Every structure is written in C-alpha cells, then in structure tokens.
C-alpha cells in the first residue's frame, strides 16, 4: 500500500541530515546564509527524491507575502500582440522575477478600468504591481503609491516620484543618426 501523505520539510530535513531551518533557507533561497554547496545539494536532492513542494498557502500565511507580482497591461490584446517591444519586456519581467523567486501574474485590463489594481492586490494577493501604460488621469496610481503599495511604472508619470523604467528615445535617435553618418549616409 502506498502512502498518499505529502512529504513535509521535516521529511526533507531527515533525508538530507539537516535541520528544518536549513531546508527552509535552501528551498527559499534565503540570501546571506552560509550554507555549503554540498549541504545545499543534499537538500535539493532530498526534496527532488521525495517530490517535495512547499505549501504555497502555508508560506503566504506565515510570511504575509505571496512572492507574486502583478503585471498590469493597460493595452488591448491587439495592441500587445502588435507591439514588437512589449512582449520582450514581458518576457524580461518574468525572467527577472523568476531569478528572484517571484511569480508574475499578467492581467490585461481595459484602459478605463481604474480599479484593476485594487482587485489584483486584494483578490490575487500580489506583493507589488508593475503597470504598463500609466495614465496621468488615473488617481489610483497615486493613491497606491501613497499607501506604500510597491509599484513600478513602465513609462514615466510626470509630477510624481513613482519609480519607473522608460526608453530614452532622444538618446536612441542620436545613436541611430550617428551610426548612419558613420556609414557614410548624407540624407
């Protein structure tokens, strides 16, 4: 008869010959811990052999964090797919998030839906929001920032101190013109 009991972090710790704390540090990739490569390997192998997966709900309850980011796309699906740049940005966001132990929940919302952020935070329990296409007439962005909700904009929102990433079109145009001149183009 096979057991249907899910393996626990204690099972992983026993198999790897370490403490539950060490298992937690290794599996949660906690920075600043001096855990040897050999110990880290033993823990990962034990977790793999036992088919151990941490309990996401339990982790959320204990830490109050979901390790999830909400990426809100204010563009229509047609605009997203027609944009040569945005899919690459989305992929980059997902890659960077994974490298830091986060998951990305991508939500496409209608541009006039100014309550999308609250729904994403409250219903999906994300730890922060990345917003593409911020609008100056959207007071919810300012409100969330004032409430200390971690938010990053893809594009600057003038008159605010909200963190943002953007393309420097002027510098890009200057580089393109310089390159064409170097190639000998006159007009």
- What distance in Å separates the CA atoms of residue 156 and residue 91, rounded to the nearest whole number? 21
Highest mean pLDDT among 7-21, 112-126, 136-150, 166-180: 7-21
- What distance in Å separates the CA atoms of residue 121 and residue 22, rounded to the nearest whole number? 31
Instruction: Tell me the sheet residues that pair with 153.
Output: 131, 164
pLDDT in tens, 105-133: 888 887 667 677 777 777 767 888 888 87
Q: How far is CA 27 from CA 13, 60, 94, 109, 128, in A?
A: 11, 15, 20, 34, 22
Task: List the domains of the chain with CATH numbers.
Answer: 9-54 (1.10.260.40), 68-169 (3.40.50.2300)
Q: In the chain, what percentage of residues exceed pLDDT 90?
A: 16
pLDDT given for residue 56 in this prediction:
60
Is pLDDT at 57 greater than 60 in this prediction? no
- What distance in Å separates the CA atoms of residue 89 and residue 85, rounded to the nearest whole number? 7
- What distance in Å separates the CA atoms of residue 78 and residue 90, rounded to the nearest whole number? 15
- What distance in Å separates the CA atoms of residue 157 and residue 142, rounded to the nearest whole number? 10
φ/ψ of 71, rounded to 5, equals: -105, 110
């Amino acid at each position: 008869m096979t057991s249907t009991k899910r393996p626990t972090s204690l099972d992983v710790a026993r198999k790897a010959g370490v403490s539950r704390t060490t298992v937690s540090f290794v599996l949660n990739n906690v920075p600043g811990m001096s855990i040897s490569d050999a110990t880290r390997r033993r823990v990962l192998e034990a977790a793999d052999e036992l088919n151990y997966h941490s309990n996401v709900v339990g982790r959320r309850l204990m830490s109050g964090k979901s390790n999830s980011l909400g990426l809100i796309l204010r563009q229509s699906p047609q605009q997203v797919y027609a944009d040569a740049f945005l899919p690459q940005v989305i992929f980059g966001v997902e890659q960077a998030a994974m490298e830091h132990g986060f998951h990305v929940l991508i939500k496409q919302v209608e541009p006039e839906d100014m309550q999308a952020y609250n729904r994403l935070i409250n219903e999906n329990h994300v730890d922060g929001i990345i917003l593409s296409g911020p609008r100056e007439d959207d007071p919810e962005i300012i409100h969330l920032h004032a409430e200390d909700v971690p938010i990053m904009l893809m594009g600057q929102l003038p008159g605010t101190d909200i963190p943002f990433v953007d393309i420097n079109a002027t510098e890009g145009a200057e580089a393109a013109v310089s390159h064409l001149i170097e190639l000998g183009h006159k007009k």
